Amino acid sequence: MAKIIPFKAVRPTRDKVCLVTCRSYEEYAPAELAAQLDFNPLSFLHVIKPAYTNQEKVSFEKRYRQVHQKYQDFKSENILVKDEKPAIYIHKIVTKNQSFTGIIVGTSIDDYRNNIIKKHEETLAFRVRVLKEYMQYSEFNTEPVLMTYANNKNIENWIFERTQKLADFEFSTTKKEINYLWKIDDAIEIDWIQNILKTENLYIADGHHRSEAVQLLAQENENTKNTSQDYLLSYLISENNVKVYEYNRLIKDLNGMTKEAFLKEVSVNYLIENKKQLPFQPTEKHQFGMYLDNEFYSLVLRNEKQDFKTVLESLDAQILYKTILSPLLSIKDLRNDERIEYMSGKQSILELKTIVDEGEFEVGFFLFPSNIEEIKALADANLIMPPKSTYIEPKFRSGIVIYEF
């Protein structure tokens, strides 16, 4: 059911790839970003963040045109080179704790519209439009949408066989990750993988805004002959090869309540155990950790409160919202309320403790991570997760593979 296509990727040359690719610029601290831009002229950061020192003074359109021009400069200098034949690409990322291997392809915007590519997150119209305009003016995309497919032994065996050969490139990053890329341009092999994936639904794990932005771009240009906008740069990975982390919550105040009054209200829905100074992290669903006034607490949802009618109602992020964040702390808008912030589960709960102890926040909540089955069930039921419910790996580096519109 899912349609995939090969494409002519633009990629760094083998000798420059380790210098070109970069993390999302939002992940860099200001000093690190400045150092990269000052001392590494080959960094793809120069493309996605041109004239970074005065960008706040530049209009969106002018900035995006600068991105396009810098991208063309990288191509003219042979830092980036376009492949001669359409291909699909196997990409492997090895971190300290895990290895991820997936296939980079183009996926169909029609499949996205027709819910063959399934979604579980709501998008913000403003962010979608900004991304659409970025792609429209820059004329490329280098951040694939992470999609999962059902575990498939045939695909797994094929990937294993192909990755035994010498990679087109292999490089390490300053984060001690190793990246590999294999180009597959054999028409028979491409046809084989296309036929296998025709029987699959694909689930967006990360990249809902990018998907919607390309859909909008294709919609606005549907009368043109530019069919490249009908496809979405995607990284397809087996559902058993993704890592799902939780997002923990930091709240700035108790909505005018005393600590004692707040705990009394929480106890209506939860069995509370004071862990004192012993750090506590949930080990199963419907169990939450809380840090308040220099002490850790265990919160276990009372059995009589567990009458869930949908998968959304049983989701821990939704339970916390419905039982504490909204009714007790008056946090209604999880995206825009300035009293709440989020920390990914990759960060230690001791980091959250330190932030609360510094005084900007009064209470922190720790969640048990969701799993891929919950994400699929939500997507199948056309239900939407609360914002910041999952932090999903792998994360893709910019500049490895570029899809041109």
The mean predicted confidence, pLDDT, of the chain is 94
The pLDDT value recorded for residue 223 is: 77
Query: What is the pLDDT confidence band of residue 226, given thresholds at 50, 70 and 90?
Result: confident
Residues 288 and 195 in one domain: no
pLDDT value of residue 357:
97
What are 141-166's pLDDT values in tens digits? 999 999 999 999 999 999 999 999 99
Which pLDDT belongs to residue 56?
A: 58
Tens-digit pLDDT profile for residues 11-54 = 999 999 999 999 988 889 889 999 999 999 999 999 998 865 55
Residues 188, 255 within the same domain: no
Q: Please check the confidence at residue 75 and state whether its pLDDT lies above 80.
A: yes
Question: Quick one: pLDDT band at residue 57, thresholds 50, 70, 90?
Answer: low
- Read off the CATH number of the domain in which 265 is found: 3.30.1760
pTM score: 0.93
Tens of pLDDT, residue by residue over 227-247, are 889 999 999 999 999 999 999
Residue 397 within a domain: no
Check residue 55 and give its pLDDT. 57
- 314 and 214 in a single domain? The answer is no
Q: Are residues 143 and 214 in the same domain?
A: yes
- pLDDT tens per residue, range 347-405: 999 999 999 999 999 999 999 999 999 999 999 999 999 999 999 999 999 999 999 99
- Quote the number of domains for the chain: 2
Q: Is the model's pLDDT at 90 over the cut of 70?
A: yes
- Can you give the pLDDT at residue 324? 98
On whether residue 329 sits in a domain, the answer given is: yes
Co-location of 209 and 84 in the same domain: yes
227 and 272 housed in the same domain? no
Q: What is the pLDDT of residues 284-319, one digit of tens each?
A: 999 999 999 999 999 999 988 778 999 999 999 999
* 56 shares a domain with 139: yes
β-pair partners for 291:
296, 364
**Alpha carbon distance, N-terminus to C-terminus of the chain:** 24
Find the domain containing 156 and state its range.
Answer: 4-241
Q: What is the pLDDT of residues 242-255, one digit of tens each?
A: 999 999 999 999 99
Q: What is the pLDDT of residue 54?
A: 56
